[in-house]
Structure 1
Amino acid sequence: MWRLSGGLGILALLAAGLAGAGAAHADDPAVTLSASPAELKLYPQYPGNPDSADVKVNADNPGADIVGDVTFTYDFTGLDGVAIAEIDSGGGSSQCRSAAGIATCVHDGLRSGKDLADSIHVTSIPGAEEGATGTVRVIARADGVTFNELTVEVTLDARADLGVSPLEYIGEPRRTQPGDTIEKNLGFANWGNTTADGLLLEVDATGGLDFTTRYSNCEYGTASQPVRAGEKEKVTVSKAICAFDLTFEPRTYYTVAEKLRFGVSERAMWDRLHVHVAENTDAAREEARGGGDFVRGLGPELTLTKLPDTSETQEQADTWTGTDAEAQFTAVNTADLVAHAGEATGRVGDTVTATVGFTNRGPAWIGHHGYAAGATRFTVPEGARVVRKPASCTGLDSSGRKAEPQLGAPVYTCVSSPYVNVGEKVSFGFGLKIDKVVKDASGPVVVTTGSAVDGAESFDRKQTNNTAEFVLTGKPGTGSGGSTTTGGNSPSGQGDRGNLADTGAGGLGTLGGLSLLAIGLGGVAWVAARWRRARS
């Protein structure tokens, strides 16, 4: 609980804080103070519209709970002529004392671990100019505890602040289908306090979406990038980069003069549309291209319509605050997963490679974020045992539970990436050691979809090609004990994806920020650590 501080004078509090910090012994527990953000940037006050933000002051106590008073002193006098600050009563402090630009709060103890001490609300003041800087000084003290002294810098930074309207979700219960057209309206706002140097609009569409109109002020090409922030695996998207030369003044609002139209192709099933806005600078255009080749459209010019500065417009634009927006949709479509299994030959003691998996023969590409595109079940042939497996495969015992240890299990279930293109082959490589020769030894391979979510029926309607047999031929005699590899029955023109040894398949070893949530043949769920696309 927080309580009101006692009757110390303001200057005496600062002096006591410094003295308390200096009097601590080297072997006293050390608590680290930090601020989020460490440096705060505000706009100089736009007429009638001050800019404000919160700074969170955290205390990281690596030891046991601290019992007794912990006093936090905040010196705001370094903000004179730049901004004003106050302790936010909702940020962790119930009552604090403030006078003459200094606030003091007393905490009844400090818990172990990292915890919020206080939240400081900072607001720019009229007349402060761009580039002005100030500081907030934070001192903490407690008996027998050492604290670092913390300084937070506040800078007034005049700049444009562009935002785009949200894109509503397209999906259940309204599904699309190949041949449909999706129309999207976009609105833009400048929330900053200086004029933006034009507007640059990026539009990214995944594999099932096509641009129906190619505008003359837009460039078109493809890019390889993550579908969502935090994912290391990349997919190919269609990209449009549209430049608008205009004087985008502060607190003004625009919309596209006509809705953007996207065709739903035969490849569509789970797709995503993403837009990003920035100022129309050379650097922004180069960043958007990402080194790729782009071609200017031959259609009409895409123009913007300025909206009247009315209360209705401001209310409408109130949510146009982010530089990024996205929408997703579900199309009624199918994808045919075809199982494949190789064959291997060796002598007793040899370790051979078993390659199993599936190929997506379409017509749709698979891009169901959060769920594996397919699961592959491999039964180990009699007379052999697994001594090496992909990281994306889990060994199961005879009852179907996770086997311990993982190597030497009789059955394995492997999960793919959520993203598999049409014609793409996903393979999983196992190291099999031949213990004895068994005539006609083989291991069945069964492929199922990983899309049994939201009650949806499997997208793979052709089940007759979902099984294959891995054939292991043992030769008489004793092998060298080394490893041998033979080729599988890879369809012509299709490349394997992923490492066939220990790193998994389908690029799964590169999927950052994902954790396996459930393993099964009907639905394999993945959880993404982050949602939004990262932008600098």
Structure 2
Amino acid sequence: MVIGGVEPIDGVKPGGTFDVPVTVENKGNGAAGKVWVSYGVTRGLDFAEVPSNCRVQHVRSYDEMPERWIAACAFDQAVEPGVVYTPEKPIRVKVLDRALNEELLVRVGDVDPGVDENGFPPVAGTAPAVKLVEGQAGGGATARVVNVPVTAVNTADYQVTGAALKGSVGDTVTMKATFTNAGPAWVQPRPGDRSVSVVITPPAGTSVVKRGQFCRAEGKRYVCGMRSLNEGSGETYTFELKIDKRVAGAKGSVALSTEPRPFDPDKANDKADITLDVTGGGSTGGSTGSSSNGSTGSTGGSTGSSTNGSTGGATNGSGGSAGGSSSTGGAGTTTGGDLAETGSSALAITGVAAAAVVTGAGALLIVRRRRAQSPS
């Protein structure tokens, strides 16, 4: 059994609908007594109406699969070899407000495809049942499974916010920067798309005692990923910064990396400041950047170096989503100018990995203290 007639769909608009014409052909030598045709759509789409000989299941996002709906239709009739069939009425799909980069997957077989154990219980359709009717020969049926893109005319607004910090020299202050997809569309990166990152540059005169989750060090900057690109989702990156010295006019930033985002025309909220108001003067630590307070695990001095330096990189995947999306990107990372470009989607770290980085840094400090206390 093979299926055809399914072509990429472009230019649909939220609130609209489109039909999915398919052809079914039996390439075998004998007749099939029953045929199943399944339609799967990602979370920006849904089925406008479902015939009663079909069942619909809502499946959560898991592994690398996005949230989706699956309609499995049973045609209890003989399908003769060499004959092209088509449903007498094509299934209709509606375009939701959050649609942007969607997928339509259609498959055919002569056995029940079953249900996805990660989904909700399926429900039967309520529209009149349909059957297969003979169509024109040469329908182009070639495969058991066809997966095509569906592109909607829509936008998604990526936004970042900075922070206003205040403290005295020697203080450790909390900095919270955020990323939000304000919608209305969710974003599912397509194969070959480079994943977007958030680049955080702390103000001069500070050192990072603790970095935010899903962030890795790249020189003096931190490149951070996000767990979800669903509409309305976001990420908060919480850093602990030690104020090592007063630097006149010191200012950091939070910015989106520079990958193309044609769906996001508003660039005004792609960058925000991290301001620092230092009370008092002077600096902590010596010129070599030795620690002024070993218990903090941070380094001071004019170098303002961080215990979470480039040796403790973190990785993040976009994938998943509460209904999250899985992202794919190219290899390698480059930085330049005020922003960092990263083609890698590997930005996520697990809690265990993060704990390992912190534990390692603590162990290094203990060793150094013991050596310092040993008799010469």
After TM superposition, the score normalised by the length of structure 2 is: 0.67
CA deviation after TM superposition for structure 1 residue 437, in Å: 6.1
Q: 2:257 touches 2:342 (CA, 8 Å); kept in 1? A: no
Aligned length: 315
Structure 1 CA distance, aligned partners of 2:157 and 2:257?
Answer: 10
The CA distance in 2 between the partners of 1:380 and 1:354, in whole Å, is 9
* 2:96 match: 265
Shift of 1:421: 0.8
Give me the whole-angstrom Cα distance separating, in 2, the residues matched to 1:383 and 1:522.
21
Does residue 209 of structure 1 match 2:209?
no
**Is 1:182 aligned with 2:29?**
no
Residues in 2 aligned to 1:442 and 1:245: alpha-carbon distance in whole angstroms? 69
- Please state whether the residue corresponding to 2:76 is helix, strand or coil: strand
- Report Cα offsets for 1:24-63 as digits up to 9, x if no partner: xxxxxxxxxxxxxxxxxxxxxxxxxxxxxxxxxxxxxxxx
Are 1:423 and 2:252 an aligned pair? no
* 2:179 aligned counterpart, secondary structure: strand
- Once residues 111 and 6 of structure 2 are traced to their aligned partners in structure 1, the CA distance between those partners, rounded to angstroms, is 22
Q: Is the aligned partner of 1:168 residue 2:4?
A: no
Query: Which 5+ residue runs of structure 1 have no aligned equivalent?
Result: 1-161, 227-231, 396-405, 453-457, 485-500, 529-536
1:436 positional shift: 4.1
| Aligned partners of 2:35 and 2:108 also within 8 Å | yes
1:445 maps to which residue?
A: 254
Pairing 1:350-361 to 2, within 5 Å after superposition: 354-361=175-182
Q: How much has 1:167 moved relative to structure 2?
A: 2.1
Amino acid at match of 2:114: R
Matched-pair contact (CA < 8 Å) for 1:348–1:479: no
Task: Measure, in 2, the Cα distance between the counterparts of 1:358 and 1:187.
Answer: 44
CA RMSD of aligned residues (A): 4.1
1:449 CA drift (Å): 7.1
Determine the C-alpha separation between the residues in 2 that align with 1:323 and 1:391: 42
| 1:411 to 2:198 alignment | no
SS of the residue 2:114 aligns to: helix
Structure 2 alignment gaps of length 5 or more: 285-291, 299-312, 347-376
Matched with 2:124 is: 296
Asked whether 1:245 is paired with 2:76, we answer yes
Higher strand share: 1
| Displacement after TM superposition at 1:524 (Å) | 5.9
Q: Structure 1 residue 330 and structure 2 residue 151: aligned?
A: yes
CA distance in 1, matches of 2:334, 2:152: 26
Superposed displacement of residue 304, structure 1? 1.3
Distance 1:378 1:259, change over 3 A: same
Contact 2:195–2:345, Cα closer than 8 Å, also in 1: no
Contact map agreement 1:166 1:325 (CA 8 A) in 2: no
- Decide whether the 8 Å contact of 1:349 with 1:433 is kept in 2: yes
Distance 1:522 1:363, change over 3 A: farther
Counterpart of 2:108 in structure 1 is: 277
Q: Give the C-alpha shift of residue 430 in structure 1.
A: 5.3
Query: Does structure 2 retain, via aligned residues, the 8 Å contact 1:451–1:523?
Result: no
Shift of 1:332: 2.1
Q: Against the structure 1 CA distance between its residues 462 and 250, is the aligned structure 2 distance closer, same or farther, given a 3 Å change threshold?
A: same
Equivalent residues in 2 for 1:78-477, closer than 5 Å: 162-171=1-10, 175-196=11-32, 198-225=34-61, 232-281=63-112, 284-286=113-115, 288=116, 290-307=118-135, 313=137, 316-317=138-139, 319-341=140-162, 354-369=175-190, 370-372=192-194, 374-386=196-208, 406=218, 409-414=219-224, 416=226, 420-428=229-237, 432=241, 434-436=243-245, 443-447=252-256, 450-452=259-261, 458-470=262-274
**Does the 8 Å contact 2:216/2:314 carry over to 1?**
no
User: Is contact 2:42–2:68 with CA below 8 Å preserved after alignment?
Assistant: yes
Q: Which digits, 9 at most, give the CA deviation of each residue in 1:441-483, with x for residues without a partner?
A: 652212367444xxxxx32233443333446687999656347
For residues 390-435 of structure 1, the C-alpha deviation after alignment (integer angstroms, 9 at most, x for no partner) is 797675xxxxxxxxxx3xx233444557x61111113455565554
Q: Give the whole-Å Cα distance in 2 for the aligned partners of 1:236 and 1:198.
A: 29
With over 3 angstroms needed to count, the CA separation of the structure-2 counterparts of 1:446 and 1:197, relative to structure 1, is: same
- CA displacement at 1:516 relative to structure 2: 3.3
Q: Does 1:516 align with 2:331?
A: yes
CA 1:178–1:512 in 2, change beyond 3 Å: closer, same or farther?
closer
* Residue from 268, 292, 295 that aligns with 1:481: 295
- What SS class does the counterpart of residue 481 from structure 1 fall into? helix
Q: Deviations over 1:274-302 (max 9, x none)?
A: 11223333xx223x464522221211213
Tell me, yes or no, if the aligned pair for 1:272 and 1:326 is still in contact at 8 Å. Answer: yes
Counterpart CA distance in 2 for 1:449 and 1:301 is 50
Q: Which has the higher contact order (CA 8 A, sep 6+)?
A: 2
Larger Rg: 1
Residue matched to 2:316: 504
TM-score normalised to the size of structure 1?
0.49
- Going from structure 1 to structure 2, the CA distance change for 1:422 and 1:351 (only over 3 Å counts) comes to same
- Counterpart residue identity of residue 502, structure 1: A
Other structure's SS at 1:255 match: strand
**Partner Cα separation in structure 2 for residue 177 and residue 380 of structure 1:** 41
Partner Cα distance (2:297, 2:171) in 1: 6
The alpha-carbon deviation at position 258 of structure 1 amounts to: 1.6
Contact 2:207–2:243, Cα closer than 8 Å, also in 1: yes
State the distance in 1 between where 2:242 and 2:317 align: 21
Q: Report the alpha carbon displacement of residue 185 of structure 1 after superposing the two structures with TM.
A: 0.6
